[in-house]
Amino acid sequence: MTIILREIEEQDNQIIGEIVQSSLASKGLALKGTAYYDPYLFKLFDVYQRGNAKYWVLEKNGQVIGGGGVGPFNSHKDIGELQKLYIIDSQQGHGYAHLIMKKILEFANLHYSQLYIETFASLDKANNLYKKYGFKEIDQSLEGTEHSACDTWLLKKLSE
């Protein structure tokens, strides 16, 4: 078995967009105000070309099985956002999200003082993962959210 975690490439745009949409749809979350309808969902390679943003793709035996990234959160200069961390349903529960999360945190520590997540309370596995890495629930979304349908918000202070 070969596992590769690498930066997104242009040819990954379609498969990552499909993974995000199918993951949300399988949980009944193909809703307006979620990543499902992000206008740039199928252009992630371009989105993550800035110096303070990065997206990683996870391959297993040559097949893309997920990805996750980090980028600036709206106009908050010191706050990064954990973005689009998804693993295809059939590959969940094997620790692959941990590989991506560690890479995200390593990068975020270089660029931000805090890391923010918008999610749903119904996504138990995801929320448990975030809390294992020290994310704490906050009462409301940060100003400037694009994902108005989300009902759970978490924030983590990063290393100085």
Give me the number of domains the chain comprises: 1
- Nearest residue to 155 (alpha-carbon basis) of 78, 102, 98, 64: 78
Q: The CATH number of the domain where 150 resides is what?
A: 3.40.630.30
Instruction: State the pTM of this model.
Output: 0.94
Q: What is the DSSP string of 85-99?
A: EEE-GGGTTSSHHHH
Convert the pLDDT of each residue in 93-126 to its tens digit.
999 999 999 999 999 999 999 999 999 999 999 9
Convert the pLDDT of each residue in 20-51 to its tens digit.
999 999 999 999 989 999 999 999 999 999 88
Supply the range of the domain harboring residue 137: 3-157
Cα–Cα–Cα angle for 58, 64, 70, nearest 5°? Answer: 45
